[in-house]
Amino acid sequence: MIIKLYRMERSAKHATIIVFLISALFAAVSTVLSYFPLPGMWELSYVATIILSAIYFILPIIIFLEEKLAKSKIKVKESEEKYRLISENANDLIAILNDKYEYEYINEQAYLRFLGYSNDQLIGKNVWELVHPEDVERIVSSQQLSTDGFQDVDGEDKEELRIKHKNGTYIWMEYTSKVFVSSEGTPKVIVITRDITDRKKAVEVLKESEEKYHSLFENSPIALMDQDFSEIKRYFNHLKASGINDFKKYFDDKPDEVIRCMSKVKLVDVNRKALEVYKFNNKEDFIIKMNQLREGKGNIMTEEVFLDNKMEMLSLINGDTMYESEIVTKTSTGETISIYAKTSIVPGFESTWSKVIVSIIDITARKLAEQRLKESEEKFRTITEQSFIGVIIEQDFMLKYINHQFSIILGYTSEELFNWRISDFYEIIHLDDVDRFKKLIDDMTKGTFANITNFQFRLFKKTGEVIWLELFSRKIMYKSGSANLIFIMDITEKRESEQLILEENKKLVELDNLRGELITRISHELRTPLTSMYAASQILLGSNQEDSIRKIMPYIEISHRGSTRLRELVENLLDTSRIENRKFELKYSNVNINTIINDCVKELNYLADNRQITLNVNLTMDVYFKLDKYRFPQVVSNILSNA
């Protein structure tokens, strides 16, 4: 535009000068001829007059054109000023290069602002000197250019390249160039360049992000499937537009529609873990099989998978952006596996569903472990519920499990006990045992003892009855946490038996002591009649035959009484046995006490004689008492013999 205006202005100036010179020439000729007429000059004068008339007729037009041209010049200057202002204040770099790629014009302010160069530093300089060498080679090669110059006057180009800043760093720029022919007829190129550093950084970040995403996607330990649900989204919108709102009823009435909707899901990509879970060798086979699955074909489809897909679609239709489930499916080899699947619409794609990530975790091992644990727990429960021992599991001071026997032992229902904390047991522990029990719980909490055995304590049942319990405990893992497995036995009868045994042992000790006393007593009691009998027999053996029977009879009587006394002692031993067995009975009768005392004194005369003791009995009248005639003499004899 600037070049065209320049050409118009120059042509108008030339035309005005020529017209002015011709007008002046003809005016001068006419004047000369009017003063100096020459032969044959009339015709010339006539012609000159016509020419002058034409000139005067054309002159106003020329003047009008000159005025127009002047106005155009003003507009051109205004336009030039506008373009200059636009150029100087533009955020783009504008330059004109000659056919040698040398700068002839730059919008200096923009160049100073973005690259730090002024007119003096760039005008006449080759543009390739500022371009990064790698980009020079790339652009020259791709565009088949020559750095020495160009000849193509119709060329246009658009490229990204790095241009050196005045400080030596390179800045990513995007240029657009167009070749034109100047007023001098030489080819030139106008180049508009803009800073794309931020865009390149954003692209680089995006590229790195995509690479990172792809790497994370591909190497994720979780099976991932990148799916496009946009077609099914459009289909749902179509169904809604046709008046269908209750999709659950719609799918229940038309099960084939579930498969039809599933077939509209496009599988974009899968990662290696997904191939591993479903046992595929490559992605192509996986995608083919999945398409067959969505069409209701293939051995991967199960009734459970079908129902899960139905629930998944209903969830998304209702506005959810995430759906989770645990299902049983099959691998490509027909193996049954349990999986956890999570379908997530990627943020930003809620309106189109064109980006959906399905994450899958193989939970077969976990399910098997849970099944084994469940079976183990059922076995444990069966055993403990049939046990006569109370069993509880304590974790974090709370009762996590109580068997029926424990409830029976304490007299509380399981519902009541499940609301208890360990500290609640302090209220029913016997006062003499509560401190020991608290210390036991403290040691269990601190882990001082891993196992606890034979801890005995007393406890009040719900009825108020005091019972003895014995506790055993060991540490276990319960639901991923440390817990205490506690066994409780009611040992009340055992403790009572132990107490009875202690009492019986005490009695045995007492009997043993009594035995010693009995032996001493028997030896003492037997010695007395034996001594008298022995003495009497000695006298009898030493007597002469001539001795009269009258002299012998007293000794015979003594021997008789001694024998009687021995018989009574034996009877006493039997009485002692009867006393121990609680079968001893006294036989009362009216007895003359004087007779008993005299008989006892006579039996002990020999002992009195040996000890040089005189026994005097002064009983003048008979006295009768109701007593045992066999036991009372024993008492009198013992008193006299010990006197």
Cα distance between residue 547 and residue 133, in whole Å: 170
3-state secondary structure of 177: strand
Nearest-angstrom CA–CA distance, 422 and 444:
12
Overall average pLDDT of the 296-311 stretch: 73
474 pLDDT exceeds 80?
yes
Q: What span, in angstroms and rounded, lies between the C-alpha atoms of 519 and 253?
A: 107
Partners of 356 in the beta sheet?
A: 227, 345
One fold for 220-362 and 370-490: yes
Which pTM does this prediction carry? 0.46
Task: Report the chain's mean pLDDT, rounded to a whole number.
Answer: 80
- Rounded Cα distance, 135 and 113, in Å: 23
How far is the C-alpha of 142 from the C-alpha of 149, rounded, in Å? 16
DSSP state of 146: B
Question: What does the block give as tokens for 384?
Answer: 């403990």
- What SS3 state is found at 434? helix
* pLDDT band at 34; cut points 50, 70, 90: low
Q: Check: CB of residue 340 under 8 Å from CB of residue 360.
A: yes
Beta strands (DSSP E) in 416-526 are 451-460, 466-478, 481-490
- For the ranges 83-97, 155-169, 194-208, 282-296, which has the lowest average pLDDT? 83-97
Which comes out higher in pLDDT, residue 577 or 169? 169
Q: Which helix (H) or strand (E) holds 57?
A: helix 41-89
**What Cα–Cα distance (Å) separates residue 57 from each residue in 51, 61, 68?**
10, 8, 18
Q: Count of CB atoms within 10 A of residue 180's CB?
A: 13
* Mean pLDDT, residues 361-380: 86
pLDDT of residue 92: 87
The confidence score (pLDDT) of residue 1 equals 42
Q: Which listed CATH number (1.10.287.130, 3.90.550.10, 3.40.50.1000, 1.10.630.10) goes with 517-641?
A: 1.10.287.130
- Sign of torsion over alpha carbons 417, 422, 427, 431: positive
The residue that leads in pLDDT, 355 or 80, is 355
- Strands 624-627 and 322-330, bridge-based pairing: unpaired
pLDDT at 50: 65
Opening angle at CA 623, ends 618 and 626, nearest 5: 140
pLDDT in tens, 599-623: 888 877 767 777 778 888 887 788 8
Give 112 or 576, the one with higher predicted confidence.
Answer: 112
- Is-contact 623 591, C-beta < 8 A? no
- pLDDT computed for residue 18 by the predictor: 57
In the numeric block, which tokens belong to residue 167? 């400080």
Residue 465 CA, distance from chain mean position: 47
Who has greater pLDDT, 79 or 600?
A: 600
Report the amino acid identity of residue 469.
L
What is residue 3's predicted lDDT score, i.e. its pLDDT?
Answer: 40
Give residue 208's pLDDT band: very low, low, confident or very high (50, 70, 90).
confident
Closest among 374, 367, 369, 397 to 482, alpha carbons compared = 397
Q: What CATH number does domain 220-362 carry, 2.60.40.10, 3.40.50.1980, 3.30.450.20, 3.40.50.720?
A: 3.30.450.20
Confidence band of 374 (pLDDT split at 50, 70, 90): confident
CA-to-CA distance for 55 and 93, rounded, in angstroms?
Answer: 51
228 has pLDDT over 90: yes
Is there a contact between 489 and 470 (Cβ–Cβ < 8 Å)?
yes
Strands across the sheet containing 170-181: 103-106, 93-97, 187-195, 170-181, 156-164
601 token code pair:
């004194």
What is the Cα 315 distance to its own chain's centre?
25
Q: What is the pLDDT of residue 5?
A: 39
224, amino acid identity = L
> Long-range contacts made by residues 417-420, C-beta under 8 angstroms, separation at least 24?
none
Is pLDDT of 49 > 70?
A: no
Query: Residue 33 — pLDDT band, cuts 50, 70, 90?
Result: low
3-state secondary structure of 106: strand
Check residue 76 and give its pLDDT: 53
> Residue 144: pLDDT above 80?
no
**Mean pLDDT, residues 564-574:** 69
Distance in angstroms (rounded) separating the CA atoms of residues 405 and 390: 5
Please state at what angle helix 631-641 crosses helix 593-603, rounded to 10 degrees.
Answer: 50
Mean pLDDT over 130-134 rounds to 92
| Amino acid at residue number 558 | I
pLDDT tens figures, 90-108: 678 999 999 888 999 999 8
For 91-202, which CATH class?
A: alpha beta
List all residues 6 or more positions away from 612 whose beta carbon is below 8 Å from its beta carbon: none
Q: Which residue has the higher pLDDT, 57 or 116?
A: 116
Q: Where are the alpha helices (DSSP H) in 124-224?
A: 133-143, 197-219
DSSP assignment of 351-381 equals TT---EEEEEEE-HHHHHHHHHHHHHHHHHH
Q: Residue 275 to residues 220, 238, 639: CA-CA distances in angstroms?
A: 12, 34, 113
Grouping H, G, I as helix, E, B as strand and the rest as coil, residue 616 is coil
Whether residue 201 has pLDDT greater than 90: no
Specify whether the CB–CB gap between 558 and 533 falls below 8 A.
Answer: yes
Mean pLDDT of 338-342: 94
Q: CA 395 to CA 484: how far, in whole Å?
A: 6
Q: Which residues pair with 105 in a beta bridge?
A: 96
Overall fold of domain 370-490 = Beta-Lactamase (3.30.450)
601 within 8 A of 640, measured Cβ to Cβ: yes
357 has a pLDDT exceeding 90: yes
- Is the pLDDT assigned to residue 427 strictly greater than 60? yes
pLDDT above 50 for 46: yes
Looking at residue 300, what is its pLDDT?
Answer: 53
- The confidence band for 6, taking pLDDT boundaries of 50, 70 and 90, is very low
Write down the pLDDT at residue 202: 85
pLDDT > 50? residue 372: yes
**What's the token pair of residue 270?**
């899968």
Closest CA to 483 of 350, 391, 387: 391
SS3 134: helix
| Better pLDDT: 18 or 453 | 453
Q: Is 40 helix (H, G, I), strand (E, B) or coil?
A: coil
- Percent of the chain past pLDDT 90, that is, above it, reads 28
pLDDT at 164: 94
Q: Is 452 helix (H, G, I), strand (E, B) or coil?
A: strand
Tokens of 310: 């139905």
Per-residue model confidence (pLDDT) at position 163: 93
pLDDT score recorded for residue 547:
57
Domain ranges of the chain: 2-86, 91-202, 220-362, 370-490, 517-641
Q: Which residues pair with 192 in a beta bridge?
A: 94, 176
Question: For residues 180 and 3, which has the higher predicted lDDT (pLDDT)?
Answer: 180
Answer yes or no: is pLDDT of 495 > 50.
yes
